Amino acid sequence: MNDMRIVERTVDSHQTKITARGVQVYYGEKHALKDVDVDILDKTVTAFIGPSGCGKSTFLRCLNRMNDTVAIARVQGDIRLDGDDIYDKRVDPVQLRAKVGMVFQKPNPFPKSIYDNVAYGPRIHGLTANKAELDAIVETSLRKAALWNEVKDRLAESGTGLSGGQQQRLCIARAIATSPEVLLMDEPCSALDPIATAQVEELIDELRSQFSVVIVTHSMQQAARVSQRTAFFHLGNLVEYGETGQIFTNPKDPRTESYITGRIG
Ligand SMILES: Nc1ncnc2c1ncn2[C@@H]1O[C@H](COP(=O)(O)OP(=O)(O)OP(=O)(O)O)[C@@H](O)[C@H]1O
Ligand SMILES: [Mg+2]
């Protein structure tokens, strides 16, 4: 009990990184996300859970304006990163996505070398002054993604030639190479075997010391293992959001309880 309180306090002392208020998303006529309010904390892993089609990916994509790329998507409401409106006309979505990085369900390395995959972001954003600095970012990012030892002697080989688990860690290295403040991960382990999954989960826990991490997962075990906060979505509504232990052991909403006990979904 005491321990729980300490954990709770530690998490609560983290600042809010993203605030969302009254977020609605429509795909044409379809109302996919309904009036979502949430505060996402810094230096915390937040899990989004809920049945297929409930809007988890839709909401995740709102957080770095990836829905801008979906022609029929309409996003309304207010989303702020450190208090600044990310949908403001002056915000460049490409710059925003360097700050709010994303890792997708299916590993999607570019058909380029391992080195060039990781160097891509720092290059397009002009983050380094010379080759030595770029080399250093590539190495640090691959180390943080727990991939360096496996690839350090083959950096010139294609990223697409790696195993699935290695490709996903390469994509994580690519996402963190621009020093994002928030990392969005949409079912990052669903294509991975249990060993690679365990590696990525360990990595997520380490990334939390530097970033705010938001992970969509269909695995409740994974949400319980890696996150400190959990949001449960159902039919486009954010039904319940709170400390992960509370959501899994003492949910307040009957829909959350039905989902985590396997009755819906
Ligand atoms: N590009 C799109 N065009 C039209 N409808 C879409 C599009 N993307 C999502 N939707 C619809 O919006 C709703 C929410 O979809 P979303 O992909 O956010 O769900 P999800 O919770 O991530 O599901 P899953 O767990 O299956 O990934 C669904 O009804 C889906 O069909
Ligand atoms: Mg999804």
Whole-number pLDDT of residue 193? 84
Say what the pLDDT of residue 263 is: 74
For residue 139, tell me if it sits in a domain: no
Q: Count up the domains in the chain and report the number.
A: 1
Tell me the sheet residues that pair with 40: 18
Asked whether the predicted pLDDT for residue 69 surpasses 80, the reply is yes
80 compared with 144, residue with greater pLDDT = 80
Going from the Cα of 191 to the center of ligand 2, the distance in angstroms, rounded, reads 14
Range of the domain at 55: 2-108+183-260
Residue nearest to atom 19 of ligand 1 (CA): 53
Average pLDDT (234-243) is: 98
**Contact residues of ligand 1, CB 6 A cut-off:** 27, 30, 32, 50, 52-58, 70, 72
Q: Confirm whether 78 is domain-assigned.
A: yes
In tens, the pLDDT along 11-59 reads 557 899 999 999 999 999 999 999 999 999 999 999 999 999 999 999 9
Q: How far is the CA of 126 from the centre of ligand 2 (A)?
A: 32
Does residue 14 form part of some domain?
yes
Whether 147 is in a domain gets the answer: no
The domain that contains 187 carries what CATH number?
Answer: 3.40.50.300
Residue 12's pLDDT is 54
Assigned domain for 85 exists? yes
Give the chain's mean pLDDT: 92
d(CA 40, CA 248): 18
- Is 129 contained in some domain? no
What is the pTM (predicted TM-score) of this model?
0.91
Q: Considering only CA atoms, which residue is closest to atom 14 of ligand 1?
A: 55
pLDDT, tens digit, 9 for 90 and up, residues 127-159: 999 999 999 999 999 998 889 999 999 999 999
Q: Hey, which of 57, 217, 239 would you mutate to test ligand 1's pocket, going by the most ligand atoms within 8 Å of its Cβ? A: 57
Structural domain includes residue 265: no
Q: In angstroms, what is the span from residue 55 Cα to ligand 1's centroid? A: 6
